[in-house]
Amino acid sequence: MGEAADDHGGPYREVLSLVCAELQSDALALLLPSPNKVHGASRGQEAWVPAPSALAPAQLETLTLVGQLLGMALRQKDTQLSLSLPSMVWKQLVGQPMDAEDLSGFDHLARQSLRSLRDIDKEGVDAESFGQVIFETFTTRLSDETQVELRPGGAATPVTFGNRLEYCELALHARLHESQRQCDALLQGLCYMVPQRLLTLFTWAQLESLCCGAAEVDVELLRSRTKYGVGVSPNQRHVRYFWAAMRRFTPEQRSAFMRFVWGRSRLPASAAEWGDMKLTIHTKHTAQPDRVHPMPHRTPCPNPSPSPP
């Protein structure tokens, strides 16, 4: 209310960016920061996982709507959603088998712990000494810190040297499927927009790329898709400063810049999806340039479908 905008696709993309930002926050409790993000792991820190506890009908209905947004992004060349979901979500959407590496994608410490427990005999621990170093039962904690039993009476069943492999297998399965109900809701919404039989044609990485674009803003790719306005040359000092600053930006700052000029924080997934879109750099002429802020403006291009920054 009170924030009307008139532009060539920018406000539309900005609405979707705001939706994604709200989903990846504590406002709705539908997506949670992954354990990797919470613990500052070396990989997968950007991932958000569907909350295993989001089981209320209203929450599942909202996740179905998010699935419809994914389907819309899949159908619309100029639409990408800035969602950072781990591979275990995308694999469930395309029906691709999951493995231990997918657990590393959102909880690397849990994956390391299971691997260490499985191979504990290589560290010189045997059946006699196992109980002196391991005090686990057949339970595991999910991404939302919920503790679940891995089999009936699991809380009262200790992990032993002899049953540790069974424990590791059950714990891995539980973690990889901790958000299955939520992923089923996403898939239901996605299938409203795209026939499910077509989803199996994609790998999980292809589907993610088509729905969400490239997570990392490649400065050289962006530079190759840039043109310059009247009187502007890539050799001018302020333009060189601009590209030097872009190279020094963190990935988060580059995404923020893209959202500022384009209403979306990710680049298109392929050259075909760029179409006629170009980043155009103009010079704003003023007597006091150091007192003027940068200003984004999105203008129509010959093909009305794409929307260049």
Q: Splitting the chain (309 residues) into consecutive groups of 10 residues, what average pLDDT does each group show?
A: 69 84 91 91 80 95 96 86 92 96 94 94 90 92 94 94 95 96 97 93 92 81 86 88 90 81 70 73 83 69 36
Amino acid 251: pLDDT: 79
Amino acid 308: pLDDT: 36
For the chain, which residues make up each domain, given as ranges?
A: 1-212, 219-291
Amino acid 296: pLDDT: 76
- The contacts of residue 134 (CB under 8 Å, 6+ apart) are 117, 120, 159, 164
Whole-number Å distance between alpha carbons of 66 and 22: 12
Whole-number Å distance between alpha carbons of 302 and 291: 34
H or E stretch covering 272: helix 271-274
Amino acid 282: pLDDT: 86
Tally of CB atoms within 10 A around 70: 26
Amino acid 151: pLDDT: 94
Taking the alpha carbons of 99, 104, 110, 116 in that order, is the dihedral positive or negative? positive
Query: 1-212 architecture in CATH?
Result: Alpha-Beta Complex (3.90)
